[in-house]
Amino acid sequence: MQREDGPMPPASLDPFEARYMIGSGHVLARYRGRPGAGYHAMFGFVALVVALSASGPAQILFALALLVPIWLMFAIVRVTVTPSHLDVKYGPFGPRIPLAQIDSVEPTRYHWSSWGGWGIRRKLGTGEVLYAMPGDQGHGVRVRWTPPDGRQHSAVVGVREPSTIVDAVAAARRVLPPAAAGHALPSGSTPSTPSAPQDPAGDQVDRGDIDVSR
């Protein structure tokens, strides 16, 4: 697995990231989360039910034309950090956050049951939004930011190795022009980078692009 701690060449980005997520400048860190077999099995089961209940080939084709794009669209969570933005996309949806507006960013843990499931979820009362899918083992990044309207937003993004994203955001903010760095990250938002975790075979897991489907 390629180590991706520094600026990444354009060839390492997929077409969606290259077009919609890099903003101005190169990519400092990137995460891709993919679902496990359960996600694909769920869509396969739905497709089977539709096929068995359809009255003819036309209905089957129509249902598949709706299901397949949804299946593909929501089969990936992307996170990129550039010198100017933190960009989160679950399928095509998610915030593009200017680094200068970030109040805090930190590793966190979440449990899907407290959000009512995976996907894009908004917590009643707080308005905090979750972007996550099965496979990140409950690890994530919590980011809070305040846009010019003064209303603070908060999101939890499922990321298997959150320190990669947290450290990249902190490093990029340190070199922002003084006029752009309107918010100071509180102490504790940039914990020291832990040693790389071990996989079951005993090898170190590289930081950066991680396919969680394995």
Q: How confident is the model at residue 73 (pLDDT cuts 50, 70, 90)?
A: low
Q: How confident is the model at residue 195 (pLDDT cuts 50, 70, 90)?
A: very low
Q: Across all residues in the chain, what is the average pLDDT?
A: 76
Question: What pLDDT is recorded for position 201?
Answer: 41
Q: Which alpha helices (H) appear in the chain, and where do they start and end?
A: 15-20, 37-53, 57-73, 112-115, 162-174
Asked if residue 154 has pLDDT above 70, the reply is yes
Q: How confident is the model at residue 95 (pLDDT cuts 50, 70, 90)?
A: very high
Question: What pLDDT is recorded for position 72?
Answer: 66
According to CATH, what is the number of the domain 10-34+76-174? 2.30.29
User: Going by C-beta distance under 8 Å and a sequence separation of 6 or more, which residues neighbour residue 136?
Assistant: 33, 158, 159, 160, 212
Q: How confident is the model at residue 36 (pLDDT cuts 50, 70, 90)?
A: low
Asked if residue 203 has pLDDT above 60, the reply is no
- Exposed, middle or buried by CB within 10 Å (0-12, 13-18, 19+), for 155? buried
Q: Which residue from 129, 181, 182, 135 is spatially nearest to 156, judged by alpha carbons?
A: 129
Of all residues in the chain, what percent carry a pLDDT higher than 90? 32
- Exposed, middle or buried by CB within 10 Å (0-12, 13-18, 19+), for 17? buried
The answer to pTM > 0.75 is no
What ranges do the domains of the chain cover?
Answer: 10-34+76-174
Distances (CA, A) of 182 to 99, 136, 174, 210: 9, 32, 12, 32
β pairing state of 129-132 and 153-158: parallel
Residue pLDDT, tens place only, 102-141: 999 999 999 988 998 888 999 988 999 999 988 788 999 9
Question: What pLDDT is recorded for position 162?
Answer: 93
